[in-house]
Structure 1
Amino acid sequence: MEIGSRIRFYRIQQNMTQEELSRGIISTSYLSKIENNQTTASIEVLDFLCSRLKINLIEEEEIPLMKSLFDWYHDIVHRRQDTLKKRYEELREKIHATSDTTAMLYFVLFEFRYLLTERDFAEAEAKLEKISLYKDIFEEKMTYYYEKFVGLHHYLQSKYSSALMHLKGAERFLTKHLPFEKWEEADLYYSIALTLSQLRKAALVIQYTHFALNIYQSRYDLMRCAECQILLGINYLRCEEYEKSEESYHLSMKLAQQLNHNGLLGMVYHNLGFLKSTNDLYEEAIQYYKDGLKLKGEPESLNTVFSILYAYYQLDQKDESKKWLEKGWELLAHNDRSEYSYHFKIYNYLLNEQLNDEFESFMKEEAIPYFLDHEKLHYIVEYSEIMANFYEERHRYKAAVVYYNIIKSSLKKTLIN
C-alpha cells in the first residue's frame, strides 16, 4: 500500500485531524497531497509523520496474522458463536502490535461484520462512519467485503432496497474472478436471495437461492441447505406453486430432523402453517403453528403467535384470537420487536371493534408509515386494504383512493423482477 494511504488510514483510526498530524512538520495542505498520493515527500518528512502516528515507515507483511483474520471471518459466517469473542480479543491485541496495514484494514472490516453478528448496532454504526472516510484506499477484495457488509447492515435495519444495491455491488466483484472461496460465493448469493425475498421478488429469489444451494450441496452443508429449502418454499408459495413449496418444506424438515435442530424444525412447521393458511386451511395451519411453537425459542415465537391469532381471526373465533393476542403482548414485553407491537395493536382495534378516530389516527400516522418505511410490502397491502374499506364504509372515497394507490404501488413493486 502507498505510504500516503497508510498515513491517512492510521490518522483516521487514531481520531487525529490533519492539523494535529502536520503541526510543526509540514503544512496541512501538503499533508493532504501526501495522503492522496499526489506528491512524494522526503524520507525525513515521512519519518516524522510515522513517528507521530507511532507506526513503522516500512510496512511489514504478516502472513500468519492474515490467515488468523480470515479464519475468524470464516467462523463469523458459519456462526461459530463459541469461539468468536475469544478470537476477537486475541486478534485485537495482535492488530495493535502490527505494522501490516493490509491486515489492519481487513481487521477493521471483519470487526464491523462481527459487531453485526453480535447485534451491537450502535458500535457498528460508529465503525462504519470511520471506515467510510478511507474506503477509497481499499483494494478490490476489500471493497467487495465493504459492499457486502454494508448490505447486511442495511438488511438488519430493514432498509431492503439499499441493502440490495450494496449486495449487488459486491456481486460485481465475483464476476471479476477474484480469489474467493465457494462458501463465500454461496453466502453472498444467499444474502441477496434473502433481501430479494423481503422485496417480494420471488422469481429472482428462486434463481439466487439455487445458486447458493448448488454450492452448499456440493459442500454437504446440511444446515444451509435446509435454510435454502425454506427460502425456496416461501417463494414458490408466492408464485402460487403450492406443490413445489410443500416439497421444499418437507426437504428442509428432513434435514432439520437429521441435524436434530429444533429451532430449524420449528421454522419449517411455521412455514407449513403459513402455506395452509394461504389456502384458507386455517385449522390445519393452526396445528402446524402450534407444533412449531413447541420447538421455537421465545424470541422467535412472536411471528408464530401472531400467525395463530390471525388464523383464529379468519375463522371468526374472536375469543381464541384475543387469547393469542394476550400471549403476544406477554412475549413482546420481553422482546424488542417493534413490528409486532403494530400488528397486535391493529388487531386489538379489530377484535374489539374499535374502528374509531383513534384507530384512524394510529393507522395513518404510525402503523402504515412504519411498514412503508421498513418496506414490508405484504403488510402495506393488507393494512392499506383495511384502511380503504374503513373509508369506503364511511363514504370518504377520496381518502379510500389514497390507500388503493398505496396498494397499487406496492403490488407493482412485487411484479418488477
Structure 2
Amino acid sequence: MRKRKKVIYWPDKLAHLLDNTYIKGLVSHNLGYLYSLQNEHHKAIDYYISSMEYERQRNVNVNYLLNTILCIIIEKYNIGDSKECGTWIDEGLHLLCEHPHDYFREYYYHFHIYRYLIDPPGNDTLATFIEEEALPYFREKDHKDSIIKYAYILAQHFKKLYKYKQANHYYEVSLRTINNNHHLGGIIL
C-alpha cells in the first residue's frame, strides 16, 4: 500500500515560517475555499476550522469570524452533517447577538436560511423568509451571488411542492442574474 504524500502549499509554509497569525488565518481560509471549489468538503472544513483558530488568536473583526463560520456551515450542509451544521449556526447566531450591528445583517439571513434547510418547520416558512426578507435585502445590497443561490433554492423548494409556476419564476431570477453578471457563472444562452 502506498503512503499518500502530504501536499505542501508554499503560502502556508511561508506563513508558518514568518509566524504571522494573520497570514496563517488568511492562507488557511483561502485553502479551505479552494478545497470547497473542488468539492473536497472535509479538507475545506479542516482549513476553515484552522482559520477560525488563528482568527480567534488575533481577536479579528467579527466579520471574518462570521464569514468563516458561514463557510463551515455550507460545507457541513454539503456533506449532510445537519447536527454539526446546526452547532455552527448556533455559534454564528451567538456572535451576531454579541455584535448586533446592521453591518452583519447579511449573516442573519444566511444562518436562518440554513437553519430552515436543515430543520424544516413543515410549512412554507423557508419560502416566506427568503421571498419576503432575504431576497429583498440581498437585492438592496446588490449581493448577486446570494440572489442566485437563494432564488435557486426557492425554485427547488417550489418544484418539490409541485408549484411549477413559482419554481419557474425563481429559476428565471437565478438564471437572469447569472446572465447579467458574466463574472458570476459565465454566459448561459
User: Are 1:270 and 2:25 matched, yes or no?
Assistant: no
Q: Tell me, in whole angstroms, the C-alpha distance in 2 between the residues paired with 1:403 and 1:271.
A: 31
Q: What is the SS of the residue equivalent to 1:395?
A: coil
User: Are 1:348 and 2:115 matched, yes or no?
Assistant: yes
Give the alignment's TM-score, normalised by structure 1. 0.38
The residue that corresponds to 1:220 in the other structure is: none
The residue that corresponds to 1:391 in the other structure is: 158
**Contact 1:349–1:355 (CA<8 Å) still a contact in 2?**
no
Q: In angstroms, what is the RMSD of aligned CA positions?
A: 2.2
Q: What is the SS of the residue equivalent to 2:181?
A: helix
Structure 2 stretches of 5 or more lacking a match? 1-7
User: Are 1:330 and 2:94 matched, yes or no?
Assistant: yes
Residue of 124, 136, 141 corresponding to 1:369: 136
Q: How does 1:148-167 map to 2 (within 5 A)?
A: none
**Contact 1:391–1:400 (CA<8 Å) still a contact in 2?**
yes
Residue of 166, 170, 177 corresponding to 1:410: 177
Q: How does 1:125-144 map to 2 (within 5 A)?
A: none
Letter aligned with residue 178 of structure 2: L
| CA displacement at 1:386 relative to structure 2 | 0.7
User: Are 1:306 and 2:87 matched, yes or no?
Assistant: no
Q: What is the SS of the residue equivalent to 1:301?
A: helix
Cα distance change of structure 1 residues 405 and 302 upon mapping to structure 2, 3 Å threshold: same
Q: What is the SS of the residue equivalent to 2:142?
A: coil
State, as a whole percentage, how many aligned pairs show the same letter: 31
Letter aligned with residue 81 of structure 2: Q
Q: What is the SS of the residue equivalent to 2:91?
A: helix
| CA displacement at 1:260 relative to structure 2 | 3.8
| CA displacement at 1:407 relative to structure 2 | 1.1
Question: Matched residue pairs, number?
Answer: 169
The residue that corresponds to 2:5 in the other structure is: none
Cα distance change of structure 1 residues 413 and 255 upon mapping to structure 2, 3 Å threshold: farther
Letter aligned with residue 265 of structure 1: K
Describe the superposition over 1:287-337 as per-residue Cα deviations: whole angstroms up to 9, x where unpaired: 101111111136121111111111111111111111111111111112331
Q: Tell me, in whole angstroms, the C-alpha distance in 2 between the residues paired with 1:279 and 1:355.
A: 33
Q: Tell me, in whole angstroms, the C-alpha distance in 2 between the residues paired with 1:379 and 1:273.
A: 20
Q: How does 1:244-255 map to 2 (within 5 A)?
A: 250=9, 252-253=11-12
Q: What is the SS of the residue equivalent to 1:316?
A: coil
Letter aligned with residue 391 of structure 1: F
The residue that corresponds to 2:85 in the other structure is: 321
Residue of 54, 70, 84 corresponding to 1:295: 54
Cα distance change of structure 1 residues 414 and 261 upon mapping to structure 2, 3 Å threshold: farther
Q: Tell me, in whole angstroms, the C-alpha distance in 2 between the residues paired with 1:260 and 1:375.
A: 37
Letter aligned with residue 38 of structure 2: N
Q: Tell me, in whole angstroms, the C-alpha distance in 1 between the residues paired with 2:30 and 2:182.
A: 23
The residue that corresponds to 1:359 in the other structure is: 126
The residue that corresponds to 1:378 in the other structure is: 145
Q: Tell me, in whole angstroms, the C-alpha distance in 2 between the residues paired with 1:298 and 1:319.
A: 27
| CA displacement at 1:263 relative to structure 2 | 2.2
Structure with more contact order per residue of length (Cα contacts < 8 Å, sep ≥ 6): 2
The residue that corresponds to 1:129 in the other structure is: none
User: Are 1:280 and 2:44 matched, yes or no?
Assistant: no
Q: Tell me, in whole angstroms, the C-alpha distance in 2 between the residues paired with 1:268 and 1:413.
A: 31
**Contact 1:298–1:331 (CA<8 Å) still a contact in 2?**
no
Cα distance change of structure 1 residues 379 and 355 upon mapping to structure 2, 3 Å threshold: farther
Q: What is the SS of the residue equivalent to 1:293?
A: helix
Q: What is the SS of the residue equivalent to 1:325?
A: helix
Structure 1 stretches of 5 or more lacking a match? 1-246
Q: Tell me, in whole angstroms, the C-alpha distance in 2 between the residues paired with 1:338 and 1:365.
A: 15
| CA displacement at 1:275 relative to structure 2 | 1.3
